[in-house]
DNA sequence: AATGCCTCCTGTAGCGGCTACAGGAGCAAG
DNA sequence: CTTGCTCCTGTAGCCGCTACAGGAGGCATT
């Protein structure tokens, strides 16, 4: 299957960096459209699929949730979605990123402080174990 | 099962904030020890289980991975693990937290910049879609 | 003792987002 | 035709839980 007009799934996978099995999974759950087949039953992909799969990969790598990716795709995907709607989804994602950063900053501070107080085996108690032990009675 | 000497699983769950089903799961996968039973077949838990489950919950809530939790437990858990070893695991976790923070800071910056450049539907192109579209050809 | 209600038991399946594999068919080159 | 590679479908699995069905145990009340 080396037709100029379409790609086999392996070639699509190499082009987009998305796993063959993941591509089939995406088709099965409706994230990407079902492609036409050869008479032998093999899938034939075109430029639209190349674009959409690359887009999905980019969004996932930037931390957009699968639900957000689906939402953008249901707006028409990269070719048709309205900019203001995509921008709104991205802004929401940015809020989540900022909230996670704030959580991690708190956690980092707590861990660093506790580890600093930890004196190792010679001490009568262990600051890290004490920290983790706090939940013993709720 | 209201014996002074032991707790039933429901009471253990209320005491530790760990789900009944999760407690059974932990026993099944070996994270916590199998407790003795009544003649009727009910599990009877003691103070050791209360402590370990609380500890597990604390560690998970602070973001320690299941593998890290298991590592600490295999060192003897909160009652017996050596402080220096637990501290080392915590320090490694702190490194991961810091790395994640750095990743998120980069991502936050990229998203914020891109969203700022996004002018909405009136523009000829969409900065957010362009960003996500970068992966179309690898 | 019987009843009713709550708790606990085992076994199994499911969630999400993929990932992997078995067994067989298709396809192209030599 | 043979060979070697790609692709197909169907199924199961990863992880860390979470949920449920059907039935048994336990306790208080009548």
Q: Region A3-23: what's the mean pLDDT?
A: 89
Whether this model's ipTM surpasses 0.90 comes out as no
The distance from CA A64 to its chain's CA centroid, rounded to whole angstroms, is: 6
Q: How far is the CA of B55 from the C1' of D28 (A)?
A: 36
Integer angstrom CA distances of residue B27 from B6, B24, B52? 17, 5, 12
Interfacial B residues in 110-129 facing A (CB < 8 Å): 110-112, 114-115, 118-121, 123, 126, 128-129
Q: What is the pLDDT of residues A39-90, one digit of tens each?
A: 999 999 999 999 999 999 999 999 999 999 999 999 888 888 888 999 999 9
Is strand D within 7 Å of residue A81 (CB)? no
Q: For position A41, what pLDDT does the model report?
A: 94
Asked if residues A85 and A73 have their Cβ atoms less than 8 Å apart, the reply is: no
Q: What does the alpha-carbon distance between residue A128 and residue A110 come to, in Å, rounded to a whole number?
A: 10
Q: Which residues of chain B have pLDDT under 50?
A: 1-3, 138
- Is 80 exceeded by the pLDDT of residue A123? no
**Does B16 contact A138 at a Cβ distance shorter than 8 Å?**
yes
Q: Region A120-124: what's the mean pLDDT?
A: 74
Query: Which nucleotide is nearest, taking the CA of residue A70 and each C1'?
Result: C17
- Closest by Cβ to B132, choosing from A59, A91, A133: A59
Residue ranges of domains in chain A, CATH in brackets? 1-81 (1.10.1660.10)
Interfacial A residues in 26-55 facing B (CB < 8 Å): 50-51, 54-55
Pick the closest to residue A53 from A37, A69, A42 (CA basis): A69
Q: For position A45, what pLDDT does the model report?
A: 96
Q: What is the pLDDT of residues A83-112, one digit of tens each?
A: 899 999 999 999 999 999 999 999 999 999
Residue A106 C-alpha, separation from nearest chain B C-alpha, in angstroms: 10
Residue B24 C-alpha, separation from nearest chain A C-alpha, in angstroms: 18
Q: For position A105, what pLDDT does the model report?
A: 97
- Is 70 exceeded by the pLDDT of residue A136? no
- Can you tell me which residue has the tokens 């996004």? B118
Q: Which residues contact A114 (CB under 8 A, 6 or more apart)?
A: A127, A128, A131, B90
Q: What is the pLDDT of residues B104-120, one digit of tens each?
A: 999 999 999 999 998 87
Q: Region A4-15: what's the mean pLDDT?
A: 88
Q: Which two tokens stand for residue B100?
A: 């994640």
Q: Which residues contact B123 (CB under 8 A, 6 or more apart)?
A: A83
**Maximal C-alpha separation, chain A:** 76
Q: For position A134, what pLDDT does the model report?
A: 81
Which conformational region is residue B43 in: left (phi greater than 0), alpha (psi within -120 to 50 degrees), or beta? beta
**Does B112 contact A94 at a Cβ distance shorter than 8 Å?**
yes
Q: For position A137, what pLDDT does the model report?
A: 56
Q: How far is the CA of B10 from the C1' of D13 (A)?
A: 31
Which chain B residue lies closest to A64 (C-alpha atoms)? B132
Residue A22 C-alpha, separation from nearest chain B C-alpha, in angstroms: 16
Q: For position A1, what pLDDT does the model report?
A: 42
């Amino acid at each position: 299957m080396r037709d100029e007009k379409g790609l086999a799934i392996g070639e699509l996978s190499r082009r987009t960096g998305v796993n063959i099995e993941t591509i089939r999974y995406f088709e099965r759950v409706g994230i990407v459209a079902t492609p036409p087949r050869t008479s032998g039953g093999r899938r034939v992909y075109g430029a639209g699929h190349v674009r959409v799969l690359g887009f999905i990969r980019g969004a996932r790598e930037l931390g957009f949730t699968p639900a957000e990716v689906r939402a953008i795709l249901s707006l028409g995907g990269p070719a048709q979605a309205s900019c203001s709607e995509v921008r709104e989804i991205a802004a929401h994602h940015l809020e989540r990123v900022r909230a996670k950063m704030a959580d991690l900053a708190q956690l980092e501070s707590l861990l660093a402080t506790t580890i600093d107080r930890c004196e190792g085996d010679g001490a009568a108690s262990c600051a890290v174990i004490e920290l983790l032990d706090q939940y013993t009675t709720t």
